Chains A and B, each alone.
Chain A
Amino acid sequence: SYELTQPPSVSVSPGQTARITCSGDALPETYAYWYQQKSGQAPVLVIYEDTKRPSGIPERFSGSSSGTMATLTISGAQVEDEADYYCYSTDSSSQWKVFGTGTKVTVL
């Protein structure tokens, strides 16, 4: 199988920058995707293919990837960005599809 590791929690003040990392051995060869999940709701895609933002997602959300680590950055975090965030990727053969361990982002 395959694993993606994220920090359990990240805290920021409103207006500050939050960075969430996702570590996986196959990330140099595969794309990372990021999902936001607010309490009691289904996940929402916020970044795809490492750096691309779906329509309707605010510009303060951005993604990057270097080596075995992908990063989701929330620039100027808002209170409404409080949520759990999950990365997703696959192993190099695309057989194993995996979500990261999840990161709880607190904005206060």
Chain B
Amino acid sequence: EVQLVESGGGLVKPGGSLRLSCAASAFTFNTYNMNWVRQAPGKGLEWVSSISSRSSDIYYADSVKGRFTISRDNAKNSVYLQMNALRAEDTAVYYCARAGAFCRTTSCYAPDYWGQGTLVTVSS
């Protein structure tokens, strides 16, 4: 069964940094695009960033561009989100999500499987 396990969340002060990790298992990781999606407390889902299977294409939401960096290590079956210059409005549960097995083009990133999420709290 596909598993995505996020880690690295926690409490950080405004302006601080945090690195999230997502460990994937039970599928051929290096053939799938990956995503990070977040959800602020009591709010809706917000797409954050996406990375193609070979890291050749990377996308960011305007709200995080220039502050967050997505990367992946196919040898370790992992995807990462480096978050710098954190703000209170970045407080959210961050989900790692695999692009669907139904994706037939490299430009498809719609998620099928999701991790359980890791909570990031930005507060002084």
Residue numbers of A with Cβ under 8 A of B are 1, 31, 33, 35, 37, 42-45, 48-49, 52, 54, 84, 86, 88, 90, 94-95, 97-102
The residue of chain A having its C-beta at the shortest distance from the C-beta of B43 within the complex is A102
Residues of A within 8 A of B112 (CB): 45, 48, 54
**Contact B45–A43 (Cβ < 8 Å):** yes
Partner of B110, one of A1, A33, A84, A95: A33
Partner of A97, one of B35, B114, B115: B35
Residues of A within 8 A of B37 (CB): 99
Chain A: minimal CB distance from B93 (Å):
9
User: Number of B residues contacting the other chain (C-beta, 8 Å)?
Assistant: 23
Residue numbers of B with Cβ under 8 A of A are 35, 37, 44-47, 50, 59, 62, 95, 100, 102, 107-117
**Contact B44–A86 (Cβ < 8 Å):** yes
**Contact A42–B35 (Cβ < 8 Å):** no
Chain A: minimal CB distance from B109 (Å):
6
CA gap between A44 and B108 in the complex, in Å: 18
**Contact B47–A99 (Cβ < 8 Å):** yes
Partner of A35, one of B45, B62, B115: B45
**Contact A97–B62 (Cβ < 8 Å):** no
CA gap between A33 and B97 in the complex, in Å: 14
Residues of A within 8 A of B111 (CB): 33, 35, 43, 45, 88
Chain A: minimal CB distance from B59 (Å):
6
The residue of chain A having its C-beta at the shortest distance from the C-beta of B108 within the complex is A94
**Contact A98–B102 (Cβ < 8 Å):** no
CA gap between A84 and B43 in the complex, in Å: 11
